[in-house]
Amino acid sequence: MIGYLLHVANSNPPVVSYHRDGLFYAMKDQILHALGERETHDTLFGPEPNYDWQVITHPCWGCQQCKPDHWRWNGCNGDGIYSRTYVRLERWRLGGYTFHKPTGRYGAMPEGSQVTITGLVQHKDYGPWSWRAAFLLALVFDQHFAWRMFGRTAAGRALDRLYGVVYRFFVGEDQIPF
């Protein structure tokens, strides 16, 4: 059940602040390390983790509108690609689902490696169930994250306003609560 909930939540991870704070991914790592199993293969020196390689290509935004010598000034080398990032992803299994955990970003891929994921990982859209699954997992594994998620809901905002009214009732209108 936890594997399925993590799979649904991972399809559209909640962002609880204006910047990507990583709270969901920290909780995901905690769950995978506690309950998941890292995929490995046997080598002469013992088990080694299995990795997938992801390439993320950032196109140059100016090549279509600029002069032919545009690449000299903006760093795309004339091929229309501003940058490429190679991400090494460790594979984990939980409840029959495969999860990826980034373990490094590189400007070039090591020799002998092969790209298995091109672009961003595409997930099935579960709609509002992604948020609900993440909230259920957060209630069990990371209550701080659950509280931050709850604060972004209408009920959380209403509770915050109620707190403000109760605070003003007991402290008084003329006092600032901070």
Query: If residue 105 lies in a helix (H) or strand (E), which one and from where to where?
Result: strand 97-106
Tell me, what's the pLDDT at 60?
74
Residue 178 lies in a domain: no
Query: If residue 88 lies in a helix (H) or strand (E), which one and from where to where?
Result: strand 81-94
| Total Cβ atoms within 10 A of residue 47 | 11
Tell me, what's the pLDDT at 97?
93
Residue 49 lies in a domain: yes
The SS3 assignment for 153 reads: coil
Q: Using 50, 70 and 90 to split pLDDT, how confident is the model at 76?
A: low
Residue 125 lies in a domain: yes
Q: Using 50, 70 and 90 to split pLDDT, how confident is the model at 51?
A: confident
Give the sign of the dihedral formed by CA 106, CA 112, CA 117, CA 118: positive
Query: What would the pLDDT profile of 100-145 be if each residue is shown by its tens digit?
Result: 998 888 888 888 888 888 888 888 888 889 888 998 898 889 888 8
Q: Using 50, 70 and 90 to split pLDDT, how confident is the model at 29?
A: very high
pTM: predicted TM-score of the whole model, two decimal places: 0.71
DSSP labels, 11-56? TS----SSS---HHHHHHHHHHHHH-EE-EEEETTEEEE-EEEEEE
Which residues lie below 8 Å from residue 150, measured CB to CB, with a gap of 6+? 135, 156
Assess whether pLDDT exceeds 70 at residue 161: no
Average pLDDT in the 36-53 region?
A: 81
Residue 48 lies in a domain: yes
Residue 177 lies in a domain: no
Residue 91 lies in a domain: yes
Assess whether pLDDT exceeds 70 at residue 170: no
Number of domains in the chain: 1
Residue 89 lies in a domain: yes
